[in-house]
Amino acid sequence: PGRVRVAVRLRPRNAEDLLSDADFADCVELQPELKRLKLRKNNWSSESYKFDEVFTGTASQKRVYEVVAKPVVESVLSGYNGTVMAYGQTGTGKTFTLGRLGKDDASERGIMVRALEDIVANVSLASDTVEISYLQLYMESIQDLLAPEKTNITINEDPKTGEVSLPAAVTVKVQDLDHFVELLQTGEGNRHAANTKLNTESSRSHAILMVYIRRSVPEKVEDDINSQDRITKSKLPMVRKSKLLIVDLAGSERLDKSGSEGLLLEEAKFINLSLTSLGKCINALAENSPHIPTRDSKLTRLLRDSFGGSARTSLIITIGPSSRHRAETTSTIMFGQRAMKIVNVVKLKEEFDYESLCRKLETQVDHLTAEIDRQQKLRESEKYDLEKRLRDCHDSFNETRKNLVTRSELLEQKNTRLELDIEEALAELNCQKDQNSLLEDKIADLEMSLKQNKQNQLENSTYQKVLADTTQMYEKKIAELMKQLEVERAKSESAEEQLDAMKKLSDEHKKLIQHHEMENSKYQMALADTTQMYEMKITELTKQLEDGHTRFEGAQEQLDLANMLLADYQNSTQGQDETSELRFKLEEMYRLHESTVNELQSLKAEFKDQIQEKEAISEKLYAVQEKLSAEEKRRKAIEHELVNLKKGAPEGDKHFEDKKSYMKENIRGTSVLGTSAILNKSGTLRVTQSAQRATIAKICEEVGLQKIIQLLTSEDSDVQIHAVKVIANLAAEVKIISAELIMVLYTADGNQESIVEEGGLDALLTMLRSSQNATILRVASGAIANLAMNEMNQGLIMSRGGAKLLAKTASGTDDPQTLRMVAGALANLCGNEKLHTMLKEDGGIKAMLGMVRSGNSDVVAQVARGLANFAKCESRAMVQGHRKGRSLLMEDHALEWLIDNCNTTSASTRRHIELALSHLAQNEDNARDFISSGALQELQRISNESSREDIRNLAKKMLKSNPVFQGEMRLGQQ
């Protein structure tokens, strides 16, 4: 108890956030288990804040009520004043948290309805009363929402008790919850809501629900009063009055963002007045200041007896996830942090403890009694059940017994019948036995005679067998003898036939021999004729051969003669060839001589030219030397002047030295954003940072931005580095520079613009162009990265060749820190669609993709973020119709880069890559690249496996809506 309780609630990402968050990374990260909230300040640093409770986007209305408002409602029911307030940018869910009626869905009911439900349930409407007023504060005028004709209601303050009241406001006695919901609805209908650019439902007015409770005090109190007063007091029963305020504050955003114009500027001033003075009061309360400026505005006057002091107070601050509203989110969080420091002095009475104990015990007793009751009822019903079952058993037993008796009777009857049957059968059996013995005797006789017959038959058969055997033997022998006789006869017949055939054959042979002898003598005559003829022919042929030989010898002689003639002729031609060859060589030598002479002449001419040139150069050198000495003289004069000036202002000089030494000390830290180690002795890092910020702000005020920027061009590289760091800090700390008042914050964000206006950007770019110092390059690119977060600066950076310079810096270094800054800067530039073409032409994309060579995961993360930015902006431009054709990323092979790096371990890098692929897939002109590079498979994987549902859905949508992808996938399945 005692401190103002502050909870923070994050609104879930809405459609607008999803559409316009090219950056994609939320600007806050919740750690509900630690009750902490991390606020991302820029691409690579964040700060952590602790709250009493941290609600994520999924927190239920019921839990929010129970944690934030229920303790306040309970204390109001016990007689203390209490307040529940919601603070935050328009559209972050203040009204959702407080004022939601939940008519259709009871789970959506907000704090107002739930608080009244609790109050109505806890008071007895017979003896107590609950009344409400519903007001709106708009342009420092209070209007009654239950009677809208009443405007400009005045606030009364009781000078003694300090109690605040609004006598002119309507108060309505609440009968039940439905009645209250009706009243709220009427009030809401009357609420004036200016139409802002951010949210058409949003409101710039403060809505205030006041609930007055009057409860009669229990009798016991009268015991303490002495007997004289007793009579009068018992006639006037004691009451306890308390008040609950539920305040839905106006949006905390800067009004120029919501597009205010004309009359609305006046309105802006008044709204700022009430919120600003609330901020001031909170600061004063947080610092325990003796003076709390509650009189400055109507809002703070209304809250006088309900906020801080003796009331119990809960504040819920609402924020959105989008980085677009980083400044508003930051100021909201700082407001909440300050409010957490406010301590209330709520005094607890003893009765309160006793009552609560009593209530607890009572509920316990109630609980136990109910339990006993329930048990008893249970036992009774069990007993009844058992009895019923017993009865049922009894009945069924009787029935079965009856059945058994009838069955045994039946069986007995059957038995007697069977006995009679058996006796009859026995008599018949005896009769049959007698007949049987008679038959047996007869059979014995017949068997005897049968045996005799068999013996006689056996003897007969042996005699017959012997007879048959002897006859068979004789028959066989006769047959054999017959066969032998026939064989002999056949042999004599065949011998006669052979003799006849031999006689015939010898006759034929004799005839054949005579015929052959005649033919032989004929052939011998023919042979003698032919031999004679051949011998004549041979003698003729030998004669012809001899003639040929003599002719051949003549020809040979002629050939030898011809050869001799040919040799003579060849000897005479050789001499002529040699002379022509020599002449040719001579001509060649002559030509060579001429060309060398020519060369010599041209060399001489060249030599002359060079001598002339040398003379000209030495003349120029002399002129430059003269100029140099003049410059030297001028520099000395300026130095002299400087010394004079320093002498003239000794105080200022000391000041300057202080600042210089501070800067050196302050900037020795490692981070660009200055989480330096100074002031370590004096406390926490946060203190250090805010002190540092304050000092930097002071330096800025006193030295003047112009001068710091001039230091950037100093010859001393140390000074240069420090100046850059100061500028880098100013660029990063845009709106958080003054921790004084949230409202003051609105006017203190000029740093970025001033840095740019005063030529800081040009100075930073010059350093990238000409410096070789690694630290300068790193810090300058960090400062540019920070400046590049602002859309206006992005255009300036690009138009001054920033992308080329960043690309050059990236190619010239291997320092991972520098590469990270450069990648961050380029990634920020990717978020501006208008600059895409220029960024690509200046080699920005190539440079980003090339930086992966460093292998540093932070660099890869920045590059992935940049590509996601680029692809997202591009696809948005396509949807809006001012871009067409294949993505600019394709030519630089970004698709291949994305596929190569999509297996990274960093979840956020992977998310960016997946997002980039999904967006690139939206462009139908990229479809061919997707199929040829294998990105289509990656997209399918993303649609199934991405860790984020929205990306999965996006990828699925792209796959489904693109006919080329559909065709390809069908092919793949076949």
Residue 86 or 780 with smaller CB distance to Mg ion: 86
- Residue 88 labeled ligand binder: yes
Q: How far apart are CA 145 and CA 898, in angstroms?
A: 57
Q: Is 45 helix (H, G, I), strand (E, B) or coil?
A: strand
Q: How far apart are CA 763 and CA 708, in angstroms?
A: 11
CA 216 to chain centre: 59
And the tokens for 74? Answer: 């309970």
Q: Choose among ligand ADP, Mg ion, none what residue 720 binds, the Cβ cut-off being 5 to 8 Å by kind.
A: none
Q: Choose among Mg ion, ligand ADP, none what residue 91 binds, the Cβ cut-off being 5 to 8 Å by kind.
A: ligand ADP
- Residue 197 labeled ligand binder: no
Is residue 196 involved in binding ligand ADP (CB under 6 A)? no
* Residue 195 Cβ vs Mg ion, minimum distance, rounded to whole Å: 13
Is residue 306 involved in binding Mg ion (CB under 5 A)? no
Q: Which stretch binds ligand ADP (CB under 6 A): 197-205, 264-272, 282-290, 650-658?
A: 197-205
Residue 94 or 865 with smaller CB distance to Mg ion: 94
Q: Is 735 helix (H, G, I), strand (E, B) or coil?
A: coil
Is residue 95 involved in binding Mg ion (CB under 5 A)? yes
Q: Choose among Mg ion, ligand ADP, none what residue 331 binds, the Cβ cut-off being 5 to 8 Å by kind.
A: none
- In one-letter notation, the amino acid at residue 893 is H
Is residue 11 involved in binding ligand ADP (CB under 6 A)? yes
Q: How far apart are CA 607 and CA 599, in angstroms?
A: 12
* Spatial contact of 697 and 678, defined as CB atoms under 8 Å apart: no
- Residue 95 labeled ligand binder: yes
DSSP state at residue 771: -
Is residue 252 involved in binding ligand ADP (CB under 6 A)? no
Q: Using CB atoms within 10 A of its CB, is residue 189 exposed (0-12), middle (13-18) or buried (19+)?
A: exposed
* Residue 205 Cβ vs ligand ADP, minimum distance, rounded to whole Å: 11
What backbone phi and psi angles, to 5 degrees, belong to 906? -75, 125
- Residue 91 labeled ligand binder: yes
Residue 43 or 92 with smaller CB distance to ligand ADP: 92
Q: Choose among ligand ADP, Mg ion, none what residue 710 binds, the Cβ cut-off being 5 to 8 Å by kind.
A: none
Is residue 335 involved in binding ligand ADP (CB under 6 A)? no
* Residue 206 Cβ vs Mg ion, minimum distance, rounded to whole Å: 10
Site string for ligand ADP, 495-534 (x = CB under 6 A): ----------------------------------------
Residues 296-325 that bind ligand ADP (CB under 6 A): 318
SS3 content of the chain, % helix, strand, coil (to 5): 70, 10, 25
Is residue 94 involved in binding ligand ADP (CB under 6 A)? yes
Nearest to 12 by CA among 28, 1, 23: 28
Residues 549-568 that bind ligand ADP (CB under 6 A): none
Q: How far apart are CA 608 and CA 606, in angstroms?
A: 5
* Spatial contact of 906 and 925, defined as CB atoms under 8 Å apart: no
Which own/partner contact pairs does 779-782 have at CB distance under 8 Å and 24+ positions apart? 779/672, 779/721, 779/724, 779/725, 779/728, 780/724, 781/806, 781/809, 781/818, 781/821, 781/822, 781/825, 782/672, 782/728, 782/821, 782/824
Is residue 92 involved in binding ligand ADP (CB under 6 A)? yes
- Residue 89 labeled ligand binder: yes
- Residue 574 labeled ligand binder: no
Site string for Mg ion, 38-77 (x = CB under 5 A): ----------------------------------------
* Residue 326 Cβ vs ligand ADP, minimum distance, rounded to whole Å: 17
Q: Choose among Mg ion, ligand ADP, none what residue 923 binds, the Cβ cut-off being 5 to 8 Å by kind.
A: none
Taking the CA atoms of the chain, what radius of gyration do you get in angstroms? 63
Is residue 204 involved in binding ligand ADP (CB under 6 A)? no
Nearest to 208 by CA among 267, 240, 164: 164
* Residue 947 Cβ vs ligand ADP, minimum distance, rounded to whole Å: 22
And the tokens for 289? Answer: 């200041």
- Residue 2 labeled ligand binder: no
Q: Measured at the alpha carbon of residue 207, what is the angle toward residues 205 and 208, in degrees to the nearest 5?
A: 145
Total residues contacting ligand ADP (rule CB under 6 A)?
15
* Residue 202 Cβ vs ligand ADP, minimum distance, rounded to whole Å: 4
Task: Report the residue count for the chain.
Answer: 974
Is residue 95 involved in binding ligand ADP (CB under 6 A)? yes
Measured from each CB, the residue nearest to ligand ADP is: 93
Is residue 844 involved in binding ligand ADP (CB under 6 A)? no
Residue 100 or 872 with smaller CB distance to Mg ion: 100
Q: Choose among ligand ADP, Mg ion, none what residue 93 binds, the Cβ cut-off being 5 to 8 Å by kind.
A: ligand ADP
Is residue 92 involved in binding Mg ion (CB under 5 A)? no
- In one-letter notation, the amino acid at residue 601 is Q
Q: Which stretch binds ligand ADP (CB under 6 A): 84-92, 433-441, 488-496, 910-918?
A: 84-92
What backbone phi and psi angles, to 5 degrees, belong to 153? -75, 140
Is residue 12 involved in binding ligand ADP (CB under 6 A)? yes
Is residue 332 involved in binding ligand ADP (CB under 6 A)? no
* β-pairing verdict for 53-55 and 5-10: parallel
* Residue 246 Cβ vs ligand ADP, minimum distance, rounded to whole Å: 13
Handedness of CA 119, 121, 123, 129 (dihedral sign): positive
Site string for ligand ADP, 146-185 (x = CB under 6 A): ----------------------------------------
Distances (CA, A) of 619 to 209, 615, 616, 628, 900: 91, 6, 5, 15, 60
Nearest to 101 by CA among 171, 180, 172, 173: 180
Q: How far apart are CA 187 and CA 189, in angstroms?
A: 5
* Residue 200 Cβ vs Mg ion, minimum distance, rounded to whole Å: 11
Q: Which residues pair with 84 in a beta bridge?
A: 246, 314
Site string for ligand ADP, 931-950 (x = CB under 6 A): --------------------
Q: Choose among Mg ion, ligand ADP, none what residue 854 binds, the Cβ cut-off being 5 to 8 Å by kind.
A: none
Total residues contacting Mg ion (rule CB under 5 A)?
3
b/e for 60-95, b at 16 or more Cβ within 10 A?
A: ebeebbebbbbbbbbbbbbbbbbbbbbbbbbbbbbb
Residues 191-230 that bind Mg ion (CB under 5 A): 203
Q: Choose among ligand ADP, Mg ion, none what residue 12 binds, the Cβ cut-off being 5 to 8 Å by kind.
A: ligand ADP
Residue 206 or 912 with smaller CB distance to Mg ion: 206
* Residue 94 Cβ vs Mg ion, minimum distance, rounded to whole Å: 5
Q: Is 396 helix (H, G, I), strand (E, B) or coil?
A: helix
- Residue 94 labeled ligand binder: yes
SS (H, E, C) 912-957: HHHHHHHHHHCCHHHHHHHHHHCHHHHHHHHHHHCCCHHHHHHHHH
Among 82, 88, 321, 802, binds ligand ADP (CB under 6 A): 88
Residue 209 or 839 with smaller CB distance to ligand ADP: 209
Residue 194 or 691 with smaller CB distance to ligand ADP: 194
Among 96, 180, 212, 270, binds ligand ADP (CB under 6 A): 96
Question: 851 CB contacts (<8 Å, ≥6 apart)?
Answer: 810, 819, 822, 823, 859, 863
Q: How far apart are CA 354 and CA 239, in angstroms?
A: 19
Is residue 93 involved in binding ligand ADP (CB under 6 A)? yes
* Residue 385 Cβ vs ligand ADP, minimum distance, rounded to whole Å: 51
Q: What does the binding site for Mg ion look like in residue numbers (CB under 5 A)? A: 94-95, 203
Annotated binding site for ATP: 88-95
- List interacting residues with ligand ADP (CB under 6 A): 11-12, 88, 90-96, 199, 201-202, 251, 318
Residue list for the binding site: 88-95
